[in-house]
A and B are shown apart, each in its own frame.
Chain A
Amino acid sequence: MTGVVLALAAVSFLLVTIFSSGYSAFWRTEIALTIEFDPKLMKVEPDATFDQLQQVNYLALFRKNLERAFPEVTARADRRELAQMFSESAPDLLREMVLADPGLVGARQVVSVLASSSVDMITKGNAPRDIDEARRVISDQQLRWLDRFDESGLLGSRFNSDFFTSGPSRSPELAGLGGAIAGSALLLLVTLLLSFPVGVAAAVYLEEYAPQNRLSEIIEVNINNLAAVPSIIFGLLGLAVVLNFFGLPRGTPLVGGIVLSLMTLPTIIIASRAALKAVPPSIRDGALAMGASPMQVMFHHVLPLAMPGMLTGTIIGLAQALGETAPLLMIGMFAFVADIPGSILDQASALPVQIYLWAESSERGYVELTAAAIMVILVFLVAMNLLAVLLRKKFERRW
């Protein structure tokens, strides 16, 4: 009893830690600034063309606006500190706004600008505030400005939808999981397409066709052993054989999928065999008696009845594959890929690898991102396992 309680306490402790440090990543602190899209600052005529607007130095526009908003800040160092309170994406934001609506030139507008990662951490309480300046992530002066923003109601927060759509970034406040989610989806697709047909076919052979001989015995022992081989060994296999011998491109979902499908095959074969075994022989005998060929018996009767069990096993295998990290590191899926992969031959990242990279990163802003990414992967895993349980519940038949 104590054992169970201890184990469950460990799970709850783990989940609570992760949720408490991760939930805040779904919101981002913003600071409202009045931006004057002054043609003089932008060095363009009010009726500038699209091309001219693209050439504008938006960083300068942002800086000058900051100076106007804070005329009392004059020293260079102070100005730099002030600018550092905002995300480095601020100029890009202004560019997008102007390019989307050229009529803004000459107008004045209140813009919500993303705060920098350090300010974000202080606002959310993820980094301690009442400590010595040297150890705090922002300086005393920045803290005073932050309090002023807060008092005048300029601080806001917004749901961080970019987290799910954008790729990784070197600044924590801009980093997202979009690329990793797409990479993991492609990986799972390749894994499913390779391992499901082969796994089911192998199970059918071993369960229904295999003669009782040495070869079948060796195959069976092999499958059981493969199920227990450490995943990192599969990574070494992928590196030596798939990358170096066959020369497939490094770090792509295709290679990752091949390695992961070799890993999930034993799971799928074992589950599929159990599902085939559960189909009573009377069904086979009945169909054979009606004149069906063995393959017709298989495809028309046995496989449809065993399919729910096989799918359950496959989903559980895929859920394992989704969380697998070590083999993907071996085959080079750890590179910084800013783009969202569009095909199985693009360099890509994957959810667990992204978690590893963020966790290893020394910047403190990544801690909440890591925890949030873990929450995302856990949601996917729970969904997959629920699907498996539902499948089993819905189609389970006792003969």
Chain B
Amino acid sequence: MTVYLVTAVLLFSFGGFFSARRKAHALRASGPIHSLPQYHGIRVALWCAVPALLILLAWTAFEPRVIELLVRSYLPPEFANLSEAEANLVMMEIRSLAAGTFGISSDQAYVEDAAEVFRSFQKISDYAMTVSVMSFAIVALLWARTGVLRRYRARQSVERSFNVFIFLSSLIAILTTFAIVLSLLFESFKFFELVPLTDFLFGLDWNPQIAIREDQGASSGAFGAIPVFAGTFLIALVAMLVAGPIGLASAIYFAEYAHPQVRNFAKPALELLAGIPTVVYGFFAALTVAPLVRDLGIAIGLEVQARSALAAGVVMGVMIIPFISSLADDVINAVPESLREGSYAMGATQSETIKQVIIPAALPGIVGAFLLAISRAIGETMIVAMAAGLNANLTANPLENVTTVTVQIVVALIGDQEFDDPKTLSAFALGLALFVITLILNVIALTIVKRYREQYE
């Protein structure tokens, strides 16, 4: 339905373009006009398409909600006695009945009736939408076409709408941030209504599984986030221990020692690492590295669990190497040549220069790069989802399995999602914490790097 409407509106708008352009051409044949014919055409096409498509968008966004409200008002009083969850279930039943999904029938007569009402409302809504969208498109087209006059400033009009469009486009970044913050806050508030904030922040036990029967043990679940965050930082620490030295060493090599030919070959090869999807690293970690770590551990007499923090952390470290390397490379290259030359003039060797002049000079930038890398490691999902543990475990031993914030978000949201259940909502609380932590790290890192750049510019 919507697809046909969109096509029809677009066809009308094309027609409007050509007809207005032809009209303007005819005008121009008999004397000078202000705007080029194509601007008249574009103006008419925009008038025809944009408002009509906006109506269509708003309609499809609000139609389900309005219809649901109307149908609810038709339902008998016994419906009002149902709890929120049951009411939602009944509405779902009505919807699938109305859609004619095969094999669905209800034992309650009023549900069948409501489905009938639902269907008739949907029909009315479809007709009303078609009529209003098409009539709007046609009226706007005809009205805009009357504006194709000799002195009409069509170009200015088109340019104004273009300016509005690019301004709105740039606002999307802000809107996205707002939407992230608002949605995380909103769902997290719902979570903290069920689970006290202090339990979440200071609890030592994370066990979101809620028993199906009331009488089972631990029926309320436990939502203490400390073990989850401890696991996250443990894996990030292992990753940084791998990626930090290697990334920094290769950055120094690329910036100071590498022959241009080696650099031309090795740098893109290293950046290839950054382009590999994280799910590939996850598979690699689970299939190869975890058994390898385990066998190595057993060979030297250590007990290593199958999904150890070490394996996940090492692979994550490999993933972050190119990130650190390219950021640190930029930073080292930004150290002015005069510092190097001054050091050489004092008789320092190349390695002395690097150790005592370049690194200290580049230190703020390197710290910034490391902070960005840590934020990246904390937010990484697929590697840990495939190679780290699923159960929370408060330990500092990298040979045991630990879980991370991102893993718990995935676990909570894969499968049934119920937005009144603390297990599902806990994903948003964890997401909020993750967002805040990474945001702080990023802001600090970006400020450091920016200030450092300004220092040498």
What is the CA–CA distance of A262 and B176 in the complex, to the nearest angstrom?
7
Q: Is A73 an interface residue (CB 8 A)?
A: no
Known: A8-B269, A323-B278, A360-B386. A233 touches B287 (CB 8 A): no
- Whether B446 sits at the interface, judged by CB under 8 Å, is yes
The answer to whether B381 and A202 have CB atoms under 8 Å apart is no
Any chain B CB within 8 A of the CB of A289?
A: no
CB within 8 A of A247: which of B64, B283, B382?
Answer: B64
The answer for the CA separation of A295 and B414 in the assembled complex, in Å, is 48
CB-defined contacts of B249 to chain A, threshold 8 Å: 1-4
A185 within 8 A of B: no
Asked if B227 CB lies within 8 Å of chain A CBs, one says no
Task: Report if B159 contacts A (CB, 8 A).
Answer: yes
Q: How many residues of B contact A (CB 8 A)?
A: 84
Interface centre among B169, B176, B279 (most CB of A within 10 A): B279
Q: Mark A256-292, 1 if CB is under 8 A from B, else 0.
A: 0000001001100100000000000000000000000
Give per-residue flags for B355-386: 1 if the beta carbon is below 8 A from chain A beta carbons, else 0: 00000000000000000100110111110011
Q: Are A236's CB and B184's CB within 8 A?
A: yes
What residue in chain B is nearest A225 (Cβ atoms)? B442
Q: Say which one of B10-18, B295-303, B430-438 lies at the interface with A.
A: B430-438
Q: Identify which of residues 428-457 in chain B touch chain A, using a CB-to-CB cut-off of 8 Å.
A: 428, 431, 434-435, 438-439, 442-443, 446
Smallest CB separation, A364 vs chain B (Å): 11
Give B178's nearest chain A residue, CB to CB.
A222
* Cα of A21 to Cα of B291 in the assembled complex, Å: 15
Q: How many A residues have CB within 8 A of the partner chain?
A: 78
A295 and B434 form a contact (CB under 8 A): no
B266–A219 CB distance below 8 A: no
Query: Contact between B438 and A230 (Cβ–Cβ < 8 Å)?
Result: yes
**Least Cβ–Cβ distance between B186 and chain A, in angstroms:** 7
Name the distance in Å between A168's Cβ and chain B's nearest Cβ.
Answer: 16
Q: Within 8 Å of chain A (Cβ to Cβ): is B163?
A: yes
Contact A323 B172 (CB under 8 A): no
CA distance A152 to B102 in the complex (A): 50
Where chain B touches its partner, the secondary structure class is: helix
B173 touches A223 (CB 8 A): yes
Q: How far is the CB of B358 from chain A (nearest CB, A)?
A: 16
**Interface residue from B252, B269, B283 paired with A11 (Cβ < 8 Å):** B269
Residues of chain B lying within 8 A (CB to CB) of residue A370: 283
Tell me the smallest distance from the CB of A184 to a CB of chain B, in Å. Answer: 11
Chain A residue nearest in CB terms to B431: A236
Of A42-50, A113-121, A238-246, the stretch lying at the interface with chain B is: A238-246
Would you call A229 an interface residue if the criterion is a C-beta within 8 Å of the partner chain's C-beta atoms?
yes
Residues of A within 8 A of B51 (CB): none
- With A and B bound together, what is the CA distance between A173 and B385 in angstroms? 26
Given A3-B247, A229-B438, A230-B406: A21 touches B413 (CB 8 Å cut-off): no
25 contacts between A and B (CB under 8 A): A7-B246, A7-B273, A10-B321, A14-B318, A17-B287, A205-B169, A205-B170, A222-B173, A222-B176, A225-B177, A228-B375, A236-B431, A240-B183, A241-B179, A244-B419, A245-B183, A262-B172, A323-B279, A326-B385, A330-B413, A334-B414, A352-B382, A356-B385, A360-B386, A378-B280
Closest 8 CB pairs between A and B? A230-B379, A323-B277, A3-B249, A240-B183, A201-B169, A326-B381, A3-B250, A205-B166
